[in-house]
Amino acid sequence: MVDALTLDDFETHARRILPASLYAFVTAGSGNGRSKDKNHYDFLMIDLFTRVLRDVSDRSCEVEFLDCRFAAPIGIAPMGMAGAMRFEGDLALARAAHSSKIPFILSGAAFEPLEEVAAQAPGSWFQAYLSGNPAVDAAMVERIKQAGYKTLVITVDTPVPPSREASMRAGGLGVPVRPTARLVADTFTHPRWAADTLARTLIRKGIPRLANMGPTGGPRISAPPAKRPRSARETLTWDHILKLRNQWQGKLIVKGILAPQDAIEARKTGVDALIVSNHGGRQLDGTISPIAALPAVRAAIGDLPLIMDGGIRRGDDIVKALATGADMVLIGRPFLYALAAYGQPGVTRAIDLIIAELLRAMALMGCNHVSDLTPTCLAPSSSIWGPT
């Protein structure tokens, strides 16, 4: 693991270990992958000023966010199928985040029950999708409360399934999982993953279940999808968020905001924070990147806490996001790759690397505190927002 010097290095190792179909499921964006690529590319269009001869010996990237103290303004994004990367992968991610004192968001599409994650990593956040059924949603909220969660994240950018051509071309892995000759061959040509993850999971826990997709759990990943004339998510409106706000007394965050108009609507419902995100480029291809959307969203909502999700790969990316208006960032795929390659120690190593890069970047910019990262750090030559 010592040869993993940056977050990108973990992907190289994970790609060798994971079956091609599983790797493609994780790495692929929707459509032609333009949004996924643009998420990081747009960071390269932003230039920073350095500041010199400033005492930076007292640097700290600790932050206060939503009444909690964190070691850095970095969180692990909610990601389904983490348990397919590594045995009990959701628990490994949660424990690594907890020990590093950064937030972890458990996905509603996780294999591990939310109660077990809360027990092993107190302070974790939970991410859910609204079902559109008031009784089901109320029961799910009660389950989350009883488990001890204080922060609930609602993802709102998935009214319909996306187009995943790249994943289909690599074997078509998805949920429900359908074994094919290609998937079987793919598995047995990756014996380390087959033994360490697949076999351990099947022997100790059976076929994985989407444990948190409803108040009493969800289906096994091999179960056929329920037949419905229309997805209930297509009927969701801001009224559903308003109703949820009345039911949930903890911190409430809405994830999947890109348009300033939606940010304004979200603020009206009384949410505690927003996550600017295009779902890692996994929904509508061709969307604006989160970093490019950030300034207008910040201008629209004033001082409402704001998290940016998508494209973060280096410490200077975090600097750019914070200087552009974010209070915190989420990182997704790189932590999955670290998990696949090295398990929980790999995730901890990835967290340590990105925090070290952030502190180094702060020093070179003459900053001692995260609050020093303001728009004045951004060079006018930055081309992401066009001519100034």
Q: Do 44 and 317 contact (CB within 8 A), yes or no?
A: no
Judge whether 388 lies within some domain.
Answer: no
Q: Is the pLDDT of residue 170 over 70?
A: no
* Rounded-to-integer distance, Cα 289 and Cα 42, Å: 7
- State the burial class of residue 119 (Cβ atoms within 10 Å of its Cβ: 0-12, 13-18, 19+): middle
Alpha-carbon separation of residue 224 from 41, 123, 218, 231 (angstroms): 38, 34, 12, 15
Among the listed residues 150, 78, 141, the one whose alpha carbon sits nearest the alpha carbon of residue 109 = 78
Domains: count for the chain:
1
pLDDT for 229 equals 44
Q: Which residue has the tokens 């297509």?
A: 234
Taking residues 68-97, what's their average pLDDT? 97
Q: Residue 288: what pLDDT?
A: 97
Q: Whole-angstrom Cα distance, residue 352 to residue 334? A: 13
Can 279 be counted among the known catalytic residues? yes
Question: 224 or 35: whose pLDDT is higher?
Answer: 35
Per-residue CA distances from 150 to 68, 73, 251 (Å): 11, 18, 6
User: Please, which pLDDT band fits residue 386 given cuts at 50, 70 and 90?
Assistant: low
Which residue type occupies 379? A
What residues contact residue 232 under an 8 Å CB cut-off, 6+ apart? 131, 132, 133
**For residue range 296-339, what is the model confidence (pLDDT) as tens digits?**
999 999 999 999 999 999 999 999 999 999 999 999 999 999 99
Which residues constitute the domain of residue 201? 7-43+68-359
Whether 144 is in a domain gets the answer: yes
Backbone angles phi, psi at 164, to 5 degrees: -120, 65
Contacts of 387 (CB under 8 A, 6+ apart): none
Q: The pTM is what? A: 0.95
The CATH code of the domain that includes 88 is 3.20.20.70
pLDDT at 64 over 50: yes
pLDDT category at 162 given cuts 50, 70, 90 is confident
Q: Residue 58 domain-assigned?
A: no
Instruction: Provide mean pLDDT across the span 121-136.
Output: 95
Alpha-carbon span 13 to 281, nearest angstrom: 23
382 inside domain: no
Map tokens 């060079």 to a residue.
379
Q: Binning pLDDT at 50, 70 and 90, where does residue 232 land?
A: confident
pLDDT at 27: 93
Of 40-54, 161-175, 283-297, minimum mean pLDDT range: 161-175
pLDDT in tens, 260-278: 999 999 999 999 999 999 9
- Which is nearest to 337 in space by CA: 3, 120, 21, 22? 22
Cα–Cα distance for residue pair 307/153, rounded to 1 Å: 11
In a domain, 366, yes or no: no
Secondary structure of 212-257 in HEC code, one letter for each residue: CCCECECCECCCCCCCCCCCHHHHCCHHHHHHHHHHCCCEEEEEEE
Q: How far is CA 86 from the centre of its chain?
A: 17
Report the pLDDT value the prediction gives residue 233, as an integer from 0 to 100. Answer: 82
Evaluate whether 113 touches 212 at the Cβ level (below 8 Å).
yes
Percent of the chain at pLDDT exceeding 90: 82
Examine the pLDDT at 201 and tell me if it is beyond 50.
yes
- Residue 376 forms part of a structural domain: no
Checking if the pLDDT of 228 tops 60, the result is: no
Query: Among residues 98, 240, 279, 369, which one is catalytic?
Result: 279
pLDDT at 225 > cutoff 70: no
- On whether residue 167 sits in a domain, the answer given is yes
Percent of the chain with pLDDT over 70: 93
108, 137 Cβ separation under 8 angstroms: no
Question: What is the chain's mean pLDDT, rounded?
Answer: 93
Residue written as token pair 């029950």: 113
SS (H, E, C) 155-218: ECCCCCCCCCHHHHHCCCCCCCCCCCHHHHHHHHCCHHHHHHHHHHHHHHHCCCECCCCCECEC
Where residue 388 falls among pLDDT bands split at 50, 70, 90?
very low
Q: Which of 212, 40, 234, 29 is nearest to 125 (CA)?
A: 212
Residue 50 lies in a domain: no
Rounded to whole angstroms, the Cα distance separating 96 from 74 reads 13
Q: Which residues does residue 106 pair with via DSSP β-bridges, in sequence order?
A: 126
> How far, in Å, CA of 300 to CA of 146, rounded?
35
What lies within 8 Å, CB to CB, of 273 at 6+ separation is: 66, 251, 253, 254, 304, 305, 306, 307, 327
83: pLDDT confidence band, cut at 50, 70 and 90? very high
pLDDT at 251 over 60: yes
